[in-house]
Amino acid sequence: MRIGIVGAGVVGSLIARELCRYDVEVIIFEKASDVGMGVTKANSAIVHAGYDDEPGTVRSKFCVPGNAIYSELSKELQFDLKRIGSLVLAFKDEELKTLEELYKRGEQNNVPGIEIWDRDKILAYEPNVNPEVIAALWAPTAGITEPWMVAMAAVENAIQNGAKLYLNTEILDISTVDGKIKKVITNIGEFEVDALVNAAGMYADEIAKKAGAEYVPLHPRKGEYILLDKQEFGGFVKSVLFPTPSILGKGTLVTPTVDGGILVGPTAVDLPPEKEFREDTSTTFEGFEALMSKALRMTPLIDFRASIKTFAGLRPESPQKDFFIGRTSVFGFFNVMAMRSPGLTAAPAIAKYIVEEIQEAMGENFTTKKDFNPLRERIKKYAELPPALWDEEIRKDPLAGKMICFCNKVTEKEILEAIKKGAKTIDGIKFRTRAMFGSCQGGFCMHRIMKILARELNIDISEIKLRSEKSQILNGRVREI
């Protein structure tokens, strides 16, 4: 059986890896130039505990199981996961009532270890929280990760186990015969498939339309973020801090990132469904004002003069505000759409569910591969090794000691390993190694990385792109020397 997957975000990537456990042919179609560069790339990177989702929703069905899977998944795929816990802060009596409702939801959703903390316990644990806080909901299983790395690691492992990845591949049409999926027509050719999984993120409703299958209309909800320098603000908070939630979502959070920075965001602005808005990751002065105001309410000592980056991400929202997943009336077509928060958290559990759905709907019992290898090896971070081991690596290969990104201590050997793993753009290097994620945001290392990419890809440096064919970096020489 040949199974296609549309979209190599965190959901599609984990589904592909799960399918590779079995004797089926797996094909991944991704319209971007790399894995995890859509909805997956820009979000809060939180592995949620599961108390926020209303019992009985599809979200509540998959969030807590997905959270639990992450521990083993992070070990197998070697991506960073830090279970730092989360605190939902209440500053008014009516917010305290919301905490009590969230606690009850958490119990119904089987969220482990949740507690209501009083002011003294909160401030003892998080001294930079506003002392006007009156209570908080503590959830120890909440964590942080790098969503793009989850996707990249899952695709790497899927390819190791036989999957085929087609980047820069756009779905133009989907052919059905007698109500069954037959063929995927793309800009690079046609592919016959027996089943097709629609994990196309912001465009999943458009993909479902091409197949003539059921869908829910999607629109983008924009979230803007501010990143603070870890050199100045690392350790400012040690857990994920949330306000009490509203109808627009979980609210603006203050959280550590896995590499030690502090992230503030997101806003929540609903945009129209037209295509131009589904690509709108522009940032606004109004958004930053809102972020700063909300963050200062929770943590008055936060200093936005330490900001090193601002960005925006989009998540697919739908009228029912819930996931829309499973089989459809078109035989062999499966939706995994409307993956709003907590989509990242739920993804591993949804991957297992979709594989079961495919078998049941298609009347197949897949044979497990005897040689499936669940392990993926990450790029070694040489500067994190003990000095003696790092010296040994340098003796083997001097490039393990040649520093390219000084902010995040990324060596040329790490850059080369990222290229071997598929990086062909500046963002491809950045998201695989954390080069250019530091204080200078690439100001001192980007040109070095461009030279390495040009050399290894055997192209002129003017051909190096930021993230896609549309993101030219150089546009001619300033002067001849």
Distance CA 140, CA 159 (A): 34
Q: Select which of 31, 48, 210, 327 is catalytic.
A: 48
> For residue 439, which of 269, 259, 266 has the smallest C-alpha distance?
259
- φ/ψ (deg, to 5) at 298: -85, -40
Structure-block tokens of residue 373: 């290898």
* Kind and range of the H or E run holding 151: helix 147-160
**Is 187:172 a contact under the CB 8 Å cutoff?**
yes
Helix (H, G, I), strand (E, B) or coil at 185: strand
Dihedral sign of CA atoms 417, 422, 426, 431 in order: negative
Distance CA 229, CA 161 (A): 39
* 196: β partners: 4, 333
* Kind and range of the H or E run holding 145: strand 143-145
The CA-CA-CA angle for residues 233, 312, 28, to 5°, reads: 115
Name the CA radius of gyration of the chain, rounded: 23
Beta strand 262-265 pairing with 219-228: antiparallel
Concatenating the DSSP letter of every residue in 238-302 gives SSEEEEPPBTTBS--EEEE-TTS-EEEE---EE--SSHHHHT-----HHHHHHHHHHHHHH-TT-
> For residue 419, which of 439, 440, 399 has the smallest C-alpha distance?
399
Catalytic status, residue 48: yes
Q: In whole angstroms, what separates CA 111 from the centre of its chain?
A: 22
Ramachandran sector of residue 122 (left: φ over 0; alpha: ψ -120 to 50; beta: rest): alpha
Active site residues: 48
